[in-house]
Amino acid sequence: MGRHAKDTPTNFHPAPVGTHIARAIKIVDIGTQHGEYQGKPNARNQFILFWELPTEMLDTEDGQRPFIISKFYTNSLNEKATLRADLVSWRGKEFFPEELEDFDLMNILGKPCLVTVIEGEEKNKRKVSSVTGLPKGTVCPAQVNENFSFFLDEWDSTKFEGLSDGLKKMIEKSDEYKAMKNGQATVVESQVPKDDDLPF
């Protein structure tokens, strides 16, 4: 089994529409991306979260592999942020103020949930419309792909080269990547939240 979770299958074989058991396996920090919102330029610090769907398998050259689905998030836990809404729905509990100050995204990796997959605006595209916790008594099959994470402030050339060309191009457009190339490295301290009986 390779170290890197592959997102390639979903480019050619869309994940099935519906609600599926899933497990978070991969986080890719794509940095600050520039675009437009309601006709005005904006900048958002983003990452992509990938899940494998262990009950939905795809025949590949390497045998059966689970479908992979992903979702873009702005790295924010403010009250209106999609990330916060999905995490609260996933864990089944609102965050305490102190948790919001130092939540470590790495705690998501390997955690099971339910994701609802719907058709995207483009042909053969899929998107995750909701993320919730597993119902009581529901068991997620064993993990297939190994956990993988890539963060710009923890630069790893080997991990970067292992990403798809599409992901690398997005990262190369980020403010953080450009600053690093210009010798202006940015380091952000990571902190680990307190343990409790929640999934993260």
pLDDT digits (tens, 9 = 90+) for 86-131: 999 999 999 999 999 889 999 999 999 999 999 988 888 899 999 9
Q: 19 lies in a domain?
A: yes
Q: How far apart are CA 162 and CA 100, in angstroms?
A: 31
Q: In Å, what is the CA distance from 169 to each residue of 8, 97, 108, 161, 172?
A: 15, 36, 25, 11, 5
pLDDT at 12: 60
Q: 191 lies in a domain?
A: no
Total domains present in the chain: 1
Q: 49 lies in a domain?
A: yes
Q: 4 lies in a domain?
A: no
pLDDT at 6: 45
Q: 190 lies in a domain?
A: no
Q: 200 lies in a domain?
A: no
Q: 198 lies in a domain?
A: no
Q: 188 lies in a domain?
A: no
pLDDT at 62: 83
Write out residues in the chain with pLDDT < 50, as ranges. Answer: 1-11, 187-195
Range of the domain at 71: 9-181
